[in-house]
Structure 1
Amino acid sequence: MDHSLLSISDIALNHYLPAKRQRRRTNTVDGYESSIRLHVLPRWEGLSIPEIGPDDVQAWVDELAGKIGAGGAWKAYKCLRQIVRWTMDKWGLFVADPTRGIEQPRKPAYKPETLTHRRLKRLIRGFVGCECEPTLIIEAALGTRPGEAYFVRWERINWRTGHVPIDGTLQQTSKGLEEFPTKTAKGERDGYLPPWALDRLHQIWVERGRPRGRIIGDLTPAQANYRIQKWIKENKLPRITMKNLRHTWGTIAAQAGIKIEDVAAMMGHSNIQTTYRYYYALDAARSKRAQKRVARRILGKTSDDMYKGILLKPAWPQALPQAA
């Protein structure tokens, strides 16, 4: 059989996706399939790999970026690229790769919406009595990913030390509710609750009859998230998503002067550059402090210090001529 004649649709649906489902997380492949069905197949489904040209792919990516944004367009492109290259490797096809050399659309800098420490405190205090208060406390106190917060179980919280193992994530997939390891190997870490969070969680645990199991109970992640957002709206609390609550923790930690390597480790980042990109913003105060140190190192703090002993002449007339 000449596999080079197979259409992109046939390859993606009958070969590529089934192969990926054997080795990748269900929710990961669900994401692939969604992008493939929404964006890849409408353009390429009836074509074979030799019928696709690089110029056509570049034009498709550029057009798609205008419709769904640069990020979504690049994700769709990577799905097409993976299908093509997987096919070439799988069956040893010696054909030109039409996905090579494609230029990525410029993406705007991603700036997550975060809360100040005062607004975060208001949010936490406003959740007293909410069914999902324990989940919000875990997220706000440890900076976990949402799925990691949903995964936490009551019996795994050490009430003496505050230790919480972060070693899994709970995800809603096409197969139902599934538990997976953390996103990356470095994502598996030890969290330690601050005293305020540990004491409040213990109070809730006792009030609820010392339950076992997940702190979200029988709720799914989607149900827990819905109830959290509903509580925020009904009680007029600072608006924030669970994902951006994690970003809030990272931002406040960096602003508090915690070493960026420690912030990365505590958040489970596999690459410290991610931490720098999101949380290490050089604010005005730090910029001015840095400039003062550099100035002292050069010669002094003022213009007189810098140009001591030099007669400075103005480069313009002392008085400007009056208009006629």
Structure 2
Amino acid sequence: MAFYRKRGEKWEYRISYVDRQTGKQKEKTKGGFRTKKEAQLAAVEEESKINHFGFGENGSETVAKYFEDWLEVYKRPNVKPITYSVQERNVRLNIIPRWGNYRLKDLTRTEYQKWINELRDHYSEGTVRRIHSIFSTAINDAVHEFKILRENPIQKIKIPKEINKDAKVQYFNRDQLALFLENCKPVKNAKYQASMQYLALFTLLARTGLRIGEALPLTWSDIDLEAKTLTVNKTLVYPLNSEPYLSTPKSKTSGRTIKLDDATVAVMRKHRTNRKEVVLRYENYKSPEDNLVFFQQDGRWLRTNVVREYFKEVCKRANLPVLSPHALRHTHAVHLLEAGANIKYVSERLGHASVKVTADTYLHVTKKIEDDALALYERYIEK
């Protein structure tokens, strides 16, 4: 409840409320308003914050309690389920064990930076950046949204870089890719030997750069074989210990329509016919209700873990490095760049957020392109 009084020429309000953290009665007072109406409006806004946010004042709340409320009340209703799942898991497994008993106001930049440095001994640069982003976003909300801290003590934190960033980009060269695809056909005595599904799936990934989550939910309405185009407008999410579901593309630039080359179109035409033949040939094989391009024998989406295992089997069968399906996305990007494709085109085809992401990811290739271009210039200018 708010009370008002005039002190000299100015008005002030006094709000009485119960602190949800301690259960104790508290007051908040603020003056300097020219009119009573201004004081009333300010008091209403402040009461709304107290009732809505429910956080302890002045950063006295523990990190564990703050993150619990921040996740459940302010993040879960406003982000994608997969995003919330990633945030909740990182908070539970990494942030709370280390910082849970600290009060928000006890966080210091030096101690936090030491923790970030320690995390890099156990996690990749990308994972540490993700953990730090979650933590920093929450603290920024404590400052700017909830007004329970005056400043963010973990700003301008340095994330130790990868020693060899190029090493994590794994891909097949042209000969390796050809050998891999040759070995995608079912082996003798395979359960569904007539199926060419994995050859079609891995060919599509290798010649379009699609993410596995973008390829698995494709329906035939997303592919126009006459126009030779493919549209990405959804992604399949497989949460840990939960049912898969469709979500929107990873980012604004992930939704895109890309051109298909003639070889890929030919493979997809054969695959469309082959899918019908497989359903007719095997009694327990069902057609999907939603016209899926790729599906398992019960008509549902292919499972990402099954695709990964089959991919590994093919790698071993072909005596190639055992990579993951995502390596086909890198493979497509590297081959495009080596062929002389414009990096902006490659970035848009992959659905990257920016050209910088593409350049940073494929630094070893773009560096070679830069060197080759400079060599061409030198030969030209010296003629």
Answer whether TM exceeds 0.5 for this pair.
yes
Task: Classify 1:70/1:292 alpha carbon distance in 2 versus 1 (closer, same or farther; 3 Å).
Answer: closer
Q: Greater CA deviation, 273-282 or 160-169? A: 273-282
Task: Classify 1:190/1:296 alpha carbon distance in 2 versus 1 (closer, same or farther; 3 Å).
Answer: closer
> Is residue 2:200 matched to residue 1:145?
no
Q: Which secondary structure state, in structure 1, belongs to the residue aligned with residue 258 of structure 2?
A: strand
Counterpart Cα distance in 2 of 1:131 and 1:288:
39
> Is residue 2:311 matched to residue 1:228?
yes
> Is residue 2:233 matched to residue 1:167?
yes
Task: Classify 1:228/1:264 alpha carbon distance in 2 versus 1 (closer, same or farther; 3 Å).
Answer: same
Cα RMSD of the aligned pairs, angstroms, is 2.5
Shift of 1:232: 3.0
Task: Classify 1:286/1:270 alpha carbon distance in 2 versus 1 (closer, same or farther; 3 Å).
Answer: closer
Partner residue, 1:276: 359
Counterpart Cα distance in 2 of 1:70 and 1:155:
39
1:12 to 67, 74, 89: 67
Task: Classify 1:106/1:37 alpha carbon distance in 2 versus 1 (closer, same or farther; 3 Å).
Answer: same
Task: Classify 1:52/1:282 alpha carbon distance in 2 versus 1 (closer, same or farther; 3 Å).
Answer: closer
Partner residue, 1:127: 184
Counterpart Cα distance in 2 of 1:85 and 1:167:
32
The answer to whether the Cα contact below 8 Å between 2:237 and 2:244 also exists between their aligned partners in 1 is yes
The answer to whether the Cα contact below 8 Å between 1:27 and 1:173 also exists between their aligned partners in 2 is yes
Partner residue, 2:258: 191
- For structure 2, list consecutive stretches of 5 or more residues without a partner in the other structure: 1-18, 20-55, 187-195, 278-286
Shift of 1:8: 1.0
Amino acid of the structure 2 residue aligned with 1:42 = P
Shift of 1:99: 0.8
Shift of 1:283: 6.2
2:173 to 92, 97, 116: 116
Cα shift readout 1:187-209 (whole Å, capped 9, x = no counterpart) = 11112322222212222221221
2:111 to 32, 36, 56: 56
Counterpart Cα distance in 2 of 1:146 and 1:98:
39
Shift of 1:234: 4.0
The answer to whether the Cα contact below 8 Å between 2:212 and 2:325 also exists between their aligned partners in 1 is yes
Partner residue, 1:249: 332
Counterpart Cα distance in 1 of 2:70 and 2:147:
15
Partner residue, 2:224: 158
Counterpart Cα distance in 1 of 2:354 and 2:62:
37
Counterpart Cα distance in 2 of 1:73 and 1:105:
9
The answer to whether the Cα contact below 8 Å between 2:230 and 2:258 also exists between their aligned partners in 1 is yes
Q: Greater CA deviation, 58-67 or 41-50? A: 58-67
Amino acid of the structure 1 residue aligned with 2:202 = L
Amino acid of the structure 2 residue aligned with 1:167 = N
Cα shift readout 1:93-119 (whole Å, capped 9, x = no counterpart) = 243422123222233342201111121
Counterpart Cα distance in 1 of 2:232 and 2:371:
35
Shift of 1:252: 0.4
Amino acid of the structure 2 residue aligned with 1:142 = T
Q: Which secondary structure state, in structure 2, belongs to the residue aligned with residue 31 of structure 1?
A: helix
Q: Which has the higher contact order (CA 8 A, sep 6+)?
A: 1
Normalising by structure 1, report the TM-score. 0.83
Q: Which secondary structure state, in structure 2, belongs to the residue aligned with residue 6 of structure 1?
A: coil
> Is residue 2:361 matched to residue 1:294?
no
Identity %: 16
The answer to whether the Cα contact below 8 Å between 2:238 and 2:304 also exists between their aligned partners in 1 is yes
Counterpart Cα distance in 1 of 2:318 and 2:237:
28
Shift of 1:49: 0.8
- For structure 1, list consecutive stretches of 5 or more residues without a partner in the other structure: 302-324
Counterpart Cα distance in 2 of 1:167 and 1:289:
36
Shift of 1:288: 5.4
Task: Classify 1:285/1:205 alpha carbon distance in 2 versus 1 (closer, same or farther; 3 Å).
Answer: closer
The answer to whether the Cα contact below 8 Å between 1:216 and 1:224 also exists between their aligned partners in 2 is no
Shift of 1:122: 1.6
Partner residue, 1:215: 294
The answer to whether the Cα contact below 8 Å between 2:235 and 2:249 also exists between their aligned partners in 1 is yes
The answer to whether the Cα contact below 8 Å between 2:256 and 2:351 also exists between their aligned partners in 1 is yes
Q: Which secondary structure state, in structure 2, belongs to the residue aligned with residue 60 of structure 1?
A: helix
The answer to whether the Cα contact below 8 Å between 1:17 and 1:29 also exists between their aligned partners in 2 is no
Cα shift readout 1:292-312 (whole Å, capped 9, x = no counterpart) = 523653xx47xxxxxxxxxxx
Counterpart Cα distance in 2 of 1:185 and 1:89:
26
* Match runs of 1:76-95 below 5 Å: 76-95=131-150
Cα shift readout 1:252-310 (whole Å, capped 9, x = no counterpart) = 0011111111111111122011122233625668635623523653xx47xxxxxxxxx
Task: Classify 1:241/1:56 alpha carbon distance in 2 versus 1 (closer, same or farther; 3 Å).
Answer: same
Counterpart Cα distance in 2 of 1:156 and 1:246:
19
Q: Greater CA deviation, 285-294 or 125-134? A: 285-294
Task: Classify 1:258/1:292 alpha carbon distance in 2 versus 1 (closer, same or farther; 3 Å).
Answer: closer
Partner residue, 1:31: 86
Counterpart Cα distance in 1 of 2:276 and 2:129:
49
Task: Classify 1:121/1:235 alpha carbon distance in 2 versus 1 (closer, same or farther; 3 Å).
Answer: closer
Counterpart Cα distance in 2 of 1:163 and 1:70:
36
Counterpart Cα distance in 2 of 1:133 and 1:194:
16
